[in-house]
């Protein structure tokens, strides 16, 4: 329940996060399936989650209101919204003793506001956030729009058709829509105005808060990846530029709603031309049709030969890239963006090559991963990473903007992460103090959500195989994003385990069954997750860990402390003033459950996330961790298996041959 004076908070700087949860059922006040939180991805909004899936969102803040809700203030709703640097920090209902109100997040996920009629001693329902089926998140699937005033509420945007027509006919719209004709960026696209809508979710986007609508139109037209654009704000006559890439999800129409916004969807010119009224076309005289037919016949014979030659050239050029489904950048463009790969733009190096910071007009700041010609990541791994990430969309996965393939050059272009990788903070004596315990716990939860998406919620079932702190990138708000899918693998719907003779990954994060027998599954990723959790809690690396009382690694050290109920000794010393004991205990216990020796003992991601996020839950006792053995004191400071380690500590074993 949310009462006047209470605040919903999302403050990254202070690490303060407060949200509402539903009851388990009407008679049990234990936390239920639904929670309501502030989200600040791109633009602020309020989102109701059903466990880890979006259930409802208000739409983004447009300067006056949330685009899917009423303007503020109004006779019913008068919330107090606090912004800091255009981020929504808190929402509260101002206390008014003359007007008793309460908000309730029902067990069904519906948010309701009640007012008290003192004279009749009765609570009256004054407002419901979700008023119709179109408020359900993604009701019409990708590239569909929900129109509640229509007999069939889901429609495809113009220029799109149902992806699965039979499902659509049965009113199962979850598959959404796909383009009827591909865009034709080089030879001219245009835009169709869609009026009075709640804008699609900002899953893949670019935002500029000062552009005019005309500048936004031109910018979207120049970028072949841009599929739609709009003004994000309705203040000052409409300002800013919001561009979408990929699929348009969770769009609904509000007929006659003047407070809501318009958007402009990119279509081939041929699709826009087809909107000419058919009756007008039928008014053409028969002689005109005859003349057109004769002219067409003359032209066709001349065009066919030229078209065949042109198509052959294009097929040859595009055959190697057709599976990538991602924008291709020219090498010259990337050279200019990185100032010819200058040293001042170099932000990282590894066995794969180098990473450079750059800037593109449309994408803003970017990170360019330029593969070395001697890289262990070959063309197969490169294409694997491109194909996988292009199909994945989640706020805790790094966003791939495009790639470059010219000659021997292979580059991946990512969104730029201002705060580098997690290991830069956790293991650095100076930087680690920046990460307070609330920040670290938020990072752990974010990584877990990203891994849950890979294992269970995405269209593909992905095994990452190289989850580690250096592959967790942090954005400007220190939100974690899983990166580097070069050795990831897709599993089939019913597949649970696979085996390889070529073991690739990083020593210290690999599970025993993978490192020794080449067996990998979701449980090998879980093992890596456990190592990452314990590293975040302790501020110590698993590989090379030393302790004056014994010769165990970090996993063994954590296990010994847990058995003696001394788990607080594992905490990074710089967290002594900020840690929450119950959360630390849960993280250590969950970390140890993840690194248990046998794969079948480890939890799956959905259980792991529930255990991490549920205060007071009774968790199972962990068993002995993998690699629980004391090392000889003579080799404790030496590097194990150095003959199998590359410069970035990655290990490959192929029938006992080094990579």
* Binding site residue list: 369
650 three-state secondary structure: strand
Both structure tokens of 248: 């348009």
Q: Which helix (DSSP H) or strand (DSSP E) does residue 67 occupy?
A: none
Contacts of 59 (CB under 8 A, 6+ apart): 45, 66, 67, 68, 69, 198, 199
Determine the Cα–Cα distance for residues 444 and 174; give it in Å rounded to an integer. 31
Longest dimension (CA), the chain: 98
**Strand pairing of 353-360 and 364-371?**
antiparallel
Determine the Cα–Cα distance for residues 468 and 480; give it in Å rounded to an integer. 12
Is residue 24 within 8 Å of 219, Cβ to Cβ?
no
Q: Is 106 exposed, middle or buried (0-12, 13-18, 19+ CB in 10 A)?
A: middle
Determine the Cα–Cα distance for residues 172 and 169; give it in Å rounded to an integer. 7
Q: Is 312 exposed, middle or buried (0-12, 13-18, 19+ CB in 10 A)?
A: exposed
Provide φ and ψ at 119, rounded to 5°.
Answer: -60, -40
Q: How far is CA 65 from CA 250, 415, 482, in A?
A: 18, 29, 33
* Residue 116 neighbours by CB distance under 10 Å: 14
Strand partners, 179: 160
16 included as an active-site residue: no
Task: Return the closest-CA partner of residue 578 out of 8, 89, 15.
Answer: 15
Q: Which residues of 446-468 are buried (b: 16+ CB within 10 A; e: fewer)?
A: bbbbbbbbbbeebeebbbbbbbb
454 three-state secondary structure: helix
* Residue 638 neighbours by CB distance under 10 Å: 10
Determine the Cα–Cα distance for residues 396 and 415; give it in Å rounded to an integer. 12
Both structure tokens of 225: 């990846």
Determine the Cα–Cα distance for residues 223 and 363; give it in Å rounded to an integer. 9
Binding residue ranges for ATP: 369
Q: Which helix (DSSP H) or strand (DSSP E) does residue 202 occupy?
A: none
Catalytic residue among 466, 475, 484, 572: 466
Residues acting as catalytic residues: 466
């Amino acid at each position: 329940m949310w009462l006047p004076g209470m605040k919903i908070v999302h403050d990254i700087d202070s690490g303060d996060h407060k949200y509402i949860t539903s009851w388990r059922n009407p008679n049990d006040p234990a936390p239920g399936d639904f929670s309501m939180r502030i989200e600040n991805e791109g633009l602020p909004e309020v989102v109701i989650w059903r466990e880890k899936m979006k259930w409802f969102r208000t739409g983004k803040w447009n300067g006056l209101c949330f685009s899917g809700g009423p303007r503020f203030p109004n006779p019913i709703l008068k919330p107090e919204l606090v912004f800091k640097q255009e981020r929504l920090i808190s929402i509260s209902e101002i206390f008014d003793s003359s007007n008793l109100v309460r908000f309730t997040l029902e067990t069904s996920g519906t948010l309701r506001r009640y007012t008290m009629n003192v004279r009749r001693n009765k609570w009256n329902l004054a407002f419901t956030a979700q008023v119709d089926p179109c408020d359900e998140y993604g009701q019409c699937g990708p590239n569909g729009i929900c129109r509640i005033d229509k007999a069939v509420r889901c429609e495809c945007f113009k220029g799109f058709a149902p992806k699965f027509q039979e499902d659509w006919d049965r009113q199962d719209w979850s598959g959404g829509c796909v383009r009827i004709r591909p865009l034709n960026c080089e030879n001219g696209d245009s835009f169709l105005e869609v009026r009075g809508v709640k804008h699609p979710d900002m899953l893949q986007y670019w935002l500029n808060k000062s552009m005019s609508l005309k500048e936004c139109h031109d910018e979207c037209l120049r970028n072949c990846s841009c599929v739609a654009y709009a003004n994000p704000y309705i203040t000052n006559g409409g300002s800013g530029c919001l561009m979408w890439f990929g699929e348009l999800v969770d769009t609904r129409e509000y007929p006659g709603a003047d407070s809501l916004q318009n958007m402009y969807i990119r279509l081939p010119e041929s699709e826009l031309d087809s909107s000419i009224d058919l009756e007008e076309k039928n008014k053409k005289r028969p002689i005109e049709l005859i003349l057109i037919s004769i002219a067409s016949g003359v032209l066709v014979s001349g065009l066919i030969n030229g078209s065949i030659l042109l198509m052959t050239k294009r097929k040859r050029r595009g055959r190697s890239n057709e599976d990538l489904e991602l924008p291709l950048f020219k090498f010259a463009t990337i050279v200019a963006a990185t100032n010819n790969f200058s040293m001042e733009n170099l932000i990282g190096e590894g066995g794969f090559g180098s990473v450079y910071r750059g800037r593109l007009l449309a994408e803003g700041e970017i990170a360019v991963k330029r593969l070395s010609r001697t890289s262990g990541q070959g063309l197969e791994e490169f294409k694997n990473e491109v194909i996988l990430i292009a199909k994945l969309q989640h706020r805790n996965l790094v966003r791939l903007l495009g790639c470059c393939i010219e000659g021997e050059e292979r580059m991946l272009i990512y969104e730029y992460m201002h705060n580098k990788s997690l290991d830069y903070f956790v293991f650095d004596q100076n930087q680690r103090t920046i990460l307070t315990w609330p920040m670290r716990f938020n990072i752990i939860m974010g990584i877990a959500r990203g891994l849950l998406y890979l294992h269970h919620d995405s269209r593909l079932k992905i095994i990452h195989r190289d989850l580690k702190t250096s592959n967790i990138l942090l954005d400007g708000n220190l939100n974690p994003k899983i990166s580097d899918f070069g050795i990831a693998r897709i599993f089939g719907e019913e597949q649970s385990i696979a085996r390889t003779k070529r073991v690739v990954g990083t020593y210290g994060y690999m599970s025993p069954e993978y490192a020794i027998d080449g067996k990998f599954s979701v449980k090998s990723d879980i093992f890596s997750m456990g190592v990452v959790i314990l590293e975040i809690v302790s501020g110590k690396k698993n590989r090379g860990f030393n302790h004056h009382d014994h010769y165990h690694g970090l996993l063994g050290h954590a296990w010994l402390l847990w058995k003696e109920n001394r788990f607080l000794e594992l905490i990074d010393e710089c967290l002594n003033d900020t840690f929450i004991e119950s959360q630390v205990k849960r993280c250590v216990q969950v970390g140890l459950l993840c690194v248990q020796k046998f794969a079948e003992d480890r939890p799956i991601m959905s259980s792991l996330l529930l255990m991490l996020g549920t205060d007071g839950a009774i968790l199972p006792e962990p068993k002995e961790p993998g690699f629980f053995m004391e090392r000889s004191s003579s080799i404790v400071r030496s590097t194990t298996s150095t003959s199998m380690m590359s410069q970035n500590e990655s290990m490959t074993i192929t029938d006992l041959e080094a990579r």
